[in-house]
């Protein structure tokens, strides 16, 4: 292997996907600890606030989802009192709204960054008559528009200052957090339920989980989720524990 491609490989393994090796991400990564506690992800991610000028009135509140009302959210937020939460898989925002309400009630100034393509997971495209998935994608000219229902739900809840939309794939968003040296104390994983996808999400978000932080998720009853969580936990020497209906993995402090 040539020297420059060997160096590129090293950088890639350290989290920099580079055509040219730039200094900015490295500097950002060096500030990681500070950023965990002080960063405003909304400003860093969005040049224009996504809620600015958005008229949510045509969208009545509809936060239908899965596993969003679990008592686990309040319990874990009360335990960790996080400054930053990543949610990977948001859909219409049921779980994000629950977490935002818990943070508000506990007097925490937590930001919740919601990572989702808002394009649905595999099971959303399997049955064209499914009112909760395919039809709820609200295809316009073949492209999902459910993102706007999510945005409206956040406005109905009055959580525009807490909930930061990040419309991106789980893996690209993880790279972005990593390149900016941003870690969260709580990370909720509820995106794809296919084993290899879940495993990849666990591996990439574990990297950006703060020391002492908790990675948790939904749907342990799904084979794909359970197999991925068990495989990842064994590989990392972690024990899978549970709060209510959520599985969790805790990082050492």
Ligand X SMILES: C[S@@+](CC[C@H](N)C(=O)[O-])C[C@H]1O[C@@H](n2cnc3c(N)ncnc32)[C@H](O)[C@@H]1O
Residues that bind ligand X (CB under 6 A): 65-68, 89-91, 94-95, 115-121, 169-170, 190-192
Q: How many CB atoms lie within 10 A of CB 85?
A: 29
Nearer to ligand X, 71 or 212 (CB): 71
Which residue number has the CB closest to ligand X?
A: 65
Contact 194, 224 (CB under 8 A): yes
Please list, residue by residue across 212-250, b when 16 or more beta carbons sit within 10 angstroms of its beta carbon and e when fewer do: ebbbbbbbeeeebbbebbeebbeeeebeeeebeebbbbb
Give 81's strand partners.
none
Smallest distance from the beta carbon of 194 to ligand X, in angstroms? 9
Nearer to ligand X, 8 or 162 (CB): 162
Smallest distance from the beta carbon of 60 to ligand X, in angstroms? 17
Nearer to ligand X, 8 or 149 (CB): 149
Nearer to ligand X, 42 or 99 (CB): 99
Smallest distance from the beta carbon of 245 to ligand X, in angstroms? 12
Phi, psi of 7 (to 5 degrees): -65, -40
CA distance linking residue 90 with residue 165, whole number of Å: 9
Nearer to ligand X, 8 or 41 (CB): 41
Contact 214, 186 (CB under 8 A): yes
Smallest distance from the beta carbon of 2 to ligand X, in angstroms? 34
Output DSSP code: residue 135. G
Smallest distance from the beta carbon of 108 to ligand X, in angstroms? 20
């Amino acid at each position: 292997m040539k020297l420059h491609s060997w160096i590129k490989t090293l950088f890639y393994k350290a989290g920099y996907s580079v055509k040219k090796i730039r200094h900015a991400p490295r500097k950002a990564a060096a500030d990681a600890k500070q950023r965990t506690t002080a960063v405003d992800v909304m400003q860093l991610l969005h040049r224009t606030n996504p809620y600015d000028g958005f008229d949510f009135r045509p969208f009545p509140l509809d936060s239908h989802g899965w596993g969003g009302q679990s008592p686990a959210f309040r319990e874990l937020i009360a335990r960790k009192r996080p400054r930053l939460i990543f949610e990977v898989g948001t859909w219409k925002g049921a779980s994000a709204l629950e977490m935002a309400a818990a943070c508000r009630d506990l007097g925490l100034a937590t930001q919740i960054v919601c990572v989702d393509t808002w394009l649905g997971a595999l099971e959303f495209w399997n049955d064209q008559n499914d009112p909760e998935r395919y039809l709820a994608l609200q295809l316009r000219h073949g492209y999902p528009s459910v993102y706007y229902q999510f945005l409206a739900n956040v406005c109905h809840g009055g959580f525009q200052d807490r909930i930061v939309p990040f419309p991106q794939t789980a893996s690209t968003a993880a790279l972005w957090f990593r390149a900016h040296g941003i870690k969260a104390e709580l990370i909720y994983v509820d995106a794809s339920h296919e084993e290899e996808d879940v495993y990849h999400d666990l591996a990439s978000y574990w990297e950006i989980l703060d020391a002492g932080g908790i990675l948790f998720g939904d749907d342990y009853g799904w084979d794909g989720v359970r197999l991925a969580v068990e495989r990842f936990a064994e590989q990392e020497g972690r024990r899978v524990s549970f709060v209510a209906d959520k599985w969790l993995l805790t990082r050492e402090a």
